[in-house]
């Protein structure tokens, strides 16, 4: 639950930024890398380190499309009794789904 909560806090920072800004400091509305989010001040270096350390995939963040269907982060937590896929969306919510391997 701590990991899901941490990912939710990171996603909430993105949502807050989107609510306050229409473009990033470089004039674009899309950020395709974590370093850009850190440079802009949206995320802290510790947030980026957490994302990298936990092998969380960053899918990108578009200030023009903040919605419940826009995936920003995705990862699989496999070190639990029931492995799960955790998905964070640009509107700030996070979902946990049972992980099912494809054969």
Per mean pLDDT, which range of 18-27, 30-39, 79-88 is the poorest? 79-88
Dump the DSSP string for 4-61.
HHHHHHHHHHHHHHHHH-SS-TTS-SEE-SHHHHHHHTSS-HHHHHHHHHTTPEE--E
Q: Is the pLDDT of residue 7 over 70?
A: yes
Distance between CA atoms of 56 and 45, rounded to whole angstroms? 15
pLDDT digits (tens, 9 = 90+) for 34-78: 999 999 999 999 999 999 999 999 999 999 999 999 999 999 877
Q: Is the pTM of this model over 0.75?
A: yes
The chain-wide mean pLDDT, for the chain, equals 89
Residues above pLDDT 70, as percent of the chain: 95
């Amino acid at each position: 639950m701590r990991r899901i909560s941490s990912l939710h806090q990171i996603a909430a920072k993105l949502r807050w930024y989107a609510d306050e800004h229409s473009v990033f400091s470089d004039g674009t509305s899309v950020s395709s890398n974590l370093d850009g989010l850190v440079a802009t001040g949206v995320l802290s270096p510790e947030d980026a380190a957490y994302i990298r350390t936990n092998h969380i995939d960053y899918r990108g963040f578009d200030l023009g499309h903040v919605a419940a269907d826009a995936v920003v982060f995705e990862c699989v937590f496999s070190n639990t009794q029931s492995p799960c896929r955790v998905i964070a969306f640009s509107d700030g919510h996070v979902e946990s789904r049972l992980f099912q391997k494809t054969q």
